[in-house]
Amino acid sequence: MPFNGRPKTLIAPSTGYPTTRLRRPRQADWSRRLVAENALSVNDLIWPVFVHAGDEPRIPVESMPGVMRYSVAELAEVAREAADLGIPVIGVFPYVEGELKDAQGSYAVADNNVVCQAVEAVKNAVPTLGVMCDAALDPFTSHGHDGLLEDGSILNDETVEILVRQSVLQASAGCDIISPSDMMDGRVGAIRKGLDEAGFQGVLIMSYAAKYASGFYAPFRAAVGSASTLGSASKSTYQMDPANSDEALREVALDIAEGADMVMVKPGMPYLDIVRRVKDTFGVPTYAYQVSGEYSMIMAAAERGWLDGERAMMESLLGFKRAGADGILTYFAVEVAKRLR
C-alpha cells in the first residue's frame, strides 16, 4: 500500500529492547544529509529588489536592515551579482516620488517609467537573468490602494483595464514574468489576453493567487513609498481574510483557469498551511513570498542577539520547501545563495 504521509498505526516491537531507533540516522552529518527529505537550492530563490529613479546608488530601507533601494544603474550591477550566484529571477519593485503619483496611478503606464528603465537596464546587463514585475497600482496611486478608488470603493473592472496596459508595457521593456498582486477579480485572464494580443505569448504569469490582508506588509510599504499615502486605510475589500483557507483554493483555481502559469501565496510563514493545500490540490508550480515583515522580524531579533540570524534564515526557507513551495521570494536571496555556494 503506498504511503500517503499519514501512517495508520505505529508498530512497536512486541518484546525486548526497541529495534527501531530514529536517532541512528541523526548521528552524523553525512547520514543526516543522506536521509534529508527536503533540500533548499539556489534555484528556489527569487530576489525582490527596490529601485528608484534618482542618482544615489544605494539608499537604505530603514525598516528592513540590509535592504537597499537601488538606482537604475546600480540595480544593473547587483543583478550581475545575483546572476553570478545562480539566482534565477529578480523581482523589480519601484519607489515612486510623491509628485509622480495621482489617483489613477498614471505613472504605472507611462512610457519609460522607472520600472521599464530598470527592466531594460537589467536585461541589457544580464540577458539570461529572469525579471519579474508586479502588476499593481499601489506604488503609483496617491491614495496607496492597488486599484482605482471611487467614493471609498475600489473599482474592479476599471482597475483591470489599467493593469493590462501596465503588464503589456512591462513586457515591452523585457519583463519575463508578470505578477498581478492586486487581487482584482478576473485580472489574470484579462492580462493573459492582453499579452497574447500584443505578441507576448511567451511571457509568464505568476499570480498572487492567495494574497492576504496582512499586518506583515508594513516594511515593504515604507520601502515603495505607499505607507504614507495609504495611511490607516484597509485593503480588506480585495485582499483575503486571514481567517479563510478554503477561499484560497477557489482563488487559485480561478487564476489557473484564467491562464496563470505559476501561483503564489503571500505572506509566507503564517500561511504555510495554504502553501501545502495549494500544492496538494493543484500540483502547479507554487511559490511563497517571505514578506518584508517576516524578514525584518528575523533581522531585528538577530541584531539584538536574540537568535542566530543565519540559522533562522535557512530554517525559515527550508520550511517553505517542506510545506510544498517550489520556490520562495525572499530578501535573504543573496545571502542564502552565498551560503549555498
Question: Which residues sit opposite 264 in a β-bridge?
Answer: 208, 287
Task: Give the number of residues written for the chain.
Answer: 341
Backbone dihedral region for residue 28 (phi beyond 0: left; psi -120 to 50: alpha; all else: beta): beta
Peptide bond into 48 cis (omega under 30): no
User: Contact 290/220 with Cβ under 8 angstroms?
Assistant: no
From the list 282, 284, 287, the residue with the least C-alpha distance to 323 is: 287
Per the residue annotation, which of 101, 123, 235, 266 is the catalytic one?
Answer: 266
User: Contact 68/83 with Cβ under 8 angstroms?
Assistant: no
Phi, psi of 287 (to 5 degrees): -125, 155
User: Contact 140/106 with Cβ under 8 angstroms?
Assistant: yes
User: Contact 179/133 with Cβ under 8 angstroms?
Assistant: yes
Question: Catalytic: 266?
Answer: yes
For 217-228, give the secondary structure using H, E and C: HHHHHHHHCCHH
Please give the Cα distance from 120 to 113 (Å, whole number).
Answer: 11
Helix (H, G, I), strand (E, B) or coil at 282: helix
DSSP type of residue 102: B
Please give the Cα distance from 339 to 99 (Å, whole number).
Answer: 41
10 sits in which H/E element: none
| Identity of residue 223 | A
Say if residue 161 carries a ligand binding annotation. Answer: no
Per the residue annotation, which of 211, 235, 279, 321 is the catalytic one?
Answer: 211
Question: Catalytic: 101?
Answer: no
Please give the Cα distance from 130 to 116 (Å, whole number).
Answer: 14
Q: Which three cell numbers stand for residue 37?
A: 527529505
Which residues are catalytic, by number?
Answer: 211, 266
Binding residues: 251
